Structure formats: C-alpha cells, structure tokens
Chains A and B, each alone.
Chain A
Amino acid sequence: MRCRTGLTALVAFVLAAAVACGPGTAGPSGSTATPADQRALRLAAATAAPVSPRQVRAQFEQLLGLHALLAVRQMRSVVAPAPDLGQAAEAALQENTDALSRLVASAYGSAHADRFTPLWQRHLGDLVAYARGVAGTDASVRETARAALLADADAYGAWLAEASKGQVQASDAAAGVRTHVEELMGQADAYAARDYRLAYRTGRAAYEHMFTAGAALAKAGVTPEVAVGLETPPERLRSAFSMLLGEHLELIVDAQRATFAGSAEFQAAAAQVNANTIALTKAMAGIVGPTKAEEFQTAWANHVEGLMAYTAAVASNDQAGKTVARENLDGFAERLGLYFSDVVRNLLAADPLTDAITAHDAHLINQVDAYAAKDYPRAQQLEREGYLQMLGVANTLVGAIQRTVKPRLPVGGSKTGGGGLACRRP
C-alpha cells in the first residue's frame, strides 16, 4: 500500500510538472510552434475547463495575482518610460484578460463574462491613463484617471453583486477593487518619486491581495454550501503557499530586471525577495518545526543567491561567471530537492523535485538572458511560464505536505475538566 501511495504521488507530481511546463514552454530545445499557435495553446492551458470549484479558486488566484504584477510593470514602463517593455507587458496583460474572461465564463456563464470583459478592459486602460498622468506634468490627467478607476471599482461591485445573485454586496466587492487600484496608483506614484522601497513593497502587497480577491470571486460563483468547502484549512494552506512561491519567482524577476535600472531600484526589489524568504521560512516552521525551518532557509538562501550570482554575471557580461553560477545552481537544486523530499517523508521522490526546481531556475536564467538582450516579449513569456510552473510545483508540494501533516495532528477533543461544576452554573 505504501508503495502504491508513493507511486500515485509520483505520478501526480510528474503530471503536474508536465502540465505546468505545458504548452508554450518550449524548454531549452526550443519549439516549432508559431507565436500565434503558442498563444492559442497557452490560452487553452490557462483556461482548460476547471473540473472542481477548488481548481476555479486556484485559477482565479493565479490569474488575478498575475494581473496585478503585469499591471505594475506596465505602469512603471509608462512612468520610466520604457515603451518596448511596456508593449510586452501590454500583450501579456491582454492574454491574462482573455484567460480571466474565459474563467469567468466557466464560473458565471457567458452572459456575465460578456459584461465582465469590457469592464476589465476599461480598468486596464484607466491604469495606463493614470500612469501617463503620473509621468506627465498635467495633474488633471492623473485626477481624471483616478476618478475613472474608482468608478470602475463601483462598476465591478455592481457586476459581481448581480453575477453572484446577491451573495456578494456590491459595496463589499467595490471596496476590494478600490484597495487594488489604490495600491496600483500608489506604487506608480512612489516609482515616479524614486521611492523604490515603497513602490516595490506596495507592488508586492497588490499581488498578495489579489489572492484574497481570487478566492472571493471563486466563492461568489458557487452556492454557500460549496463555498464553505473552499475555505477549509487545507485549502487555505494551499492558497498561501502558492501565493508565496509564485511571489518568490516574480520578485526574483523584479530584482533581475531592476539590476539594469540601477542600484537603488535593485536594493528595493531585493529587500522584497528577502521579505518573501522570511515569510516562506516562517510558513515552513509552522509545518516542520524550527530546526527544519532553519535548514530550509539555508538551502533557500543558497538558491536565491545563486540566481543573483547568475544575474550579476549577465549584467557584467561575464561568461565564466555565468557558467560557475549555473553549476552552483545545480547543486542548490539537488539540496532543495532532497530537503523537500525529506519533509514530505518521501511521498515525493527527490529527483523529480530537483528537476522541477531546475526547471524553475532555467525559467529565471532564460528570463534574465532575454531581458539583457532586450528581447522583452521573450522575457515576458518566460516570466509567465515560470510563474505557472512554480504554481504547479507549489500545488503538488503542498498536496504532499498536507498528507504528512494530517496524521500528526492530535485526535479528538481535550480532557480538560472533571468536576461537573461548570455545567451547573447559570
């Protein structure tokens, strides 16, 4: 039975990794598909008919999280300005909106999706308008865009109240989107003022809050009875780890790109990478205890520093440094693979885990190579594929963690009384 469990887990893991690599992830050997084919395949993969409300929740979280990240990058490209980078971000945002619309259609029906899509498109356009206002000197442009964004939030609230058949109050839904747009506007303001620490901290908060929004959107589309099943402790744990691991990849991408913008911006981005590492370590501590958590942090720190060493080599055109960094990353991936396999008590074998981490490294290596070569569409594509791959790995890893956690929890209630006095009081 143990053997069968392990085999099942391994098959599940490999499948998840394969799906996460999925269409559009050509890998090092490249691909023969045309860009249009790849885009179509990616859209299909991102919105492949979800089979359960939990999968709908996970997809809403990942798509909305990605929306926030891409919106941040697009707004900064307007403020900087960096038109080529902005075009790549705009194309990625459009793909994200397509996928989101299809997911809304599957959760709420096509009629509601038809009303959602233009509303969301308007939100995107108003974000860019706001960034233009920040970049320019005419304050009225910015204020007009701000008013439009807040109106978009109200429109979203009204839409969700209707689509959810009243399960969600329009004012509550609108308040969530207002927070979202305030964060996006705030990070653009801070970026323009070169307060990079605030800009990156706010951008990270915007991403994290979209996981809450994704869960809310998924729950509003099902009956209250089904919604309860989407808020169980195991489901919350999956969501939290997916958020943190996806965030890890995106913050590394931010730091890699910030290297080309200057020291101050890199340091601000790197501070968020470290904040994410602290959060991940604390999360692991709650599962594996303090000693194993320290072991995790060491292995993770090596992994992060390895990626930054590669970035430094790219940024200084140091071919030998790149080779050394790659070799070091190999070793760090193996160590992390062994660590995670041990943590889940070998429910997942070390080799596929190592391979998944190596694939994650490869996305980031290729991403920074593309960015340095100013091939922004390719860098954006690799970022997105890396994000999806990371979430696939996170879901599989958390699934295994969940299977090891449950048997260790105390059974039943507590024996904490023996006098019978408490039940006789009024």
Chain B
Amino acid sequence: MTGGRRGLAAVAALLVLVAGCGVRQGRYAGVSSTVATQAPDRPAKGVEAVRGFRSVRGYRPTPAPVRVEIPSIGVASTLDRLGRAPDGTIQEPTRWEVAGWYAPGTRPGDPGSAVILGHVDSKGGPAVFFRLRELGRGDTVTIDRADGSSVRFVVQRTEQYPKDRFPTDEVYYPTLTPALRLVTCGGDFDAAAGRYRSNVIVFATMRR
C-alpha cells in the first residue's frame, strides 16, 4: 500500500468515526430518537416572538479611510491606496507629502489592524511622517472616512525594528481588536543604497 493510499484509508476510517458521532447518516436520521419528545401541552409563551425572528442581514462594509490627522506632530494628510508589490512587499506611497492606506487589509474601525504608511523624508527634506517617532502613549490619531464619519485611535507605543526583522504578524495579522499601525522609516541610513535600515512603527488601539 502506498503512503497516499494509507493516508486515504486513514481518512476513511476517521470518517467512520465521525459518522458515529451522528453525521453522514442521512443528516438528521434518528434525531428524534435521542430525546423523549414529549410535546408541550400548549404553545410556548414566546412562540410568536420566535416566529417573527429575523437574523441580522445586509452587511455594509465600513467606508474606506480618506484622511489622517495627528495633531501632536502636525500631520494632516489625505490617503492614497496602497497594495502589494509584485515581490510581495507593501507598495510605497508615491508622494512624499501624502500618506497611504494598505487597502487589502483592515479598514480603520473594523476588527484588525489598519495600516498606514508615510515617508519620513526625501532628498528634498522632511516628508509626511518625519516626526512620527515622536508619538508616545496617549497621543491621538484621527481617521476620516469616505462617508464623513471619523474614528479615533490612541497610541500605545512606538517601536523601531530592523527591516530584516520586521514584525509582520504584529502589523498585518488579522485580529478581532480594532487597531491602527503607522509605519515609516528610521534608524541608520544606508547612503549607498539610498534607504533606511529600520522601520518605525506606531501601535494604536481604537478609542471607544
């Protein structure tokens, strides 16, 4: 017997186990036999209410973010949309003075970490997130959304990581806590390569 066949046989055996749990037997075959179905004498008090029950439907996505404001460091910027580059890295914002939102990820206010990037500087001088590293616990970040609503986040901490040890999971991994990550460059500058060796990341959570 080949390894693959042995595997399939194991799966088949396990399926039998599951069937013993009450599935794969014509779905609800025998369901009524497990319980002594002694019918209630009269309809239950809440029967009309349960008949009228409707589950929530019509999910409407949270509107996309359009603007970021960080008063304590003088940031007020519209937001471009960013995606993933062909090499798997996140696209960089195309304009020095404008921040960008990672659109395949979380929308600000939804469960998960919304990610906003901005350049720290250019050859011409400071860029939109030049002072990002100054943010500390308690500073606030406001995100305006396409429908005119806003959501506010409170900074928990600011950290710097070498780019080759970027905490991908802490920044991008799905979570059920609404959060915000602001990312720019920092640390030493590699003049030959024209790039910084580290990233500065601000971790913020939504203010309820």
Q: Does A35 contact B (CB under 8 A)?
A: no
- Interface residue A277 (Cβ < 8 Å from any Cβ of B): yes
Number of interface residues of A (CB under 8 A): 102
Select from chain A the residue with minimum beta-carbon distance to B165.
A413
Could you tell me the distance between the alpha carbons of A417 and B130 in the complex, rounded to whole angstroms?
9
Given contacts A14-B11, A355-B18, A373-B37, contact A286 B50 (CB under 8 A): no
Query: In the bound complex, do residue A423 and residue B169 qualify as a contact, i.e. CB atoms below 8 Å apart?
Result: no
- Is A18's CB under 8 angstroms from B40's CB? no
Indicate if B65 sits at the interface (CB-CB under 8 A): no
Residues of B within 8 Å of A372, CB to CB, are 37-40, 44
Given contacts A7-B11, A362-B31, A421-B126, A25 and B22 within 8 Å (CB-CB) = yes
Interface status of B123 (Cβ within 8 A of chain A): yes
Q: Check A263 against B18 for contact (C-beta < 8 Å).
A: no
Asked if A237 contacts B185 (CB within 8 A), the reply is no
Size class of the B contact interface (CB-based, 8 Å): 35 or more
| A293-B61, A352-B15, A420-B189 known; A317+B22 contact, CB < 8 A | no
- 8 Å CB contact of B44 from A7, A260, A410: A260
Given contacts A278-B56, A369-B32, contact A290 B61 (CB under 8 A): yes
CB within 8 Å of B: which A290-316 residues: 290, 293-294, 297-298, 300-302, 304-305, 308, 311-312, 314-316
A259-B47, A308-B55, A415-B195 provided; 10 other pairs, C-beta below 8 A?
A: A21-B18, A27-B22, A263-B45, A273-B55, A369-B37, A373-B39, A405-B173, A413-B183, A416-B196, A422-B185
A-B contact pairs, 19 of them (CB 8 A): A7-B8, A27-B22, A27-B34, A259-B46, A261-B46, A263-B46, A270-B50, A279-B111, A297-B57, A312-B53, A374-B38, A409-B173, A414-B184, A416-B92, A416-B129, A417-B186, A417-B189, A418-B195, A419-B124
> Residues of B with Cβ closer than 8 Å to A?
4, 7-8, 10-11, 14-15, 17-18, 20-25, 27-40, 43-51, 53-59, 61, 84, 87-90, 92-93, 102, 104, 106, 110-112, 117-127, 129-130, 133, 161, 163-164, 166, 168-170, 172-177, 183-189, 191, 194-196, 198-199
Could you tell me which A residues sit within 8 Å of B by CB distance?
Answer: 3-4, 7, 10-11, 14-15, 17-18, 21-22, 25-30, 232-234, 236-237, 240-241, 244, 255, 258-263, 265-267, 270, 273-274, 277-279, 281-283, 285-287, 289-290, 293-294, 297-298, 300-302, 304-305, 308, 311-312, 314-317, 326, 329-330, 333, 352, 355-356, 358-359, 361-362, 365-366, 369-370, 372-375, 378, 405, 408-423
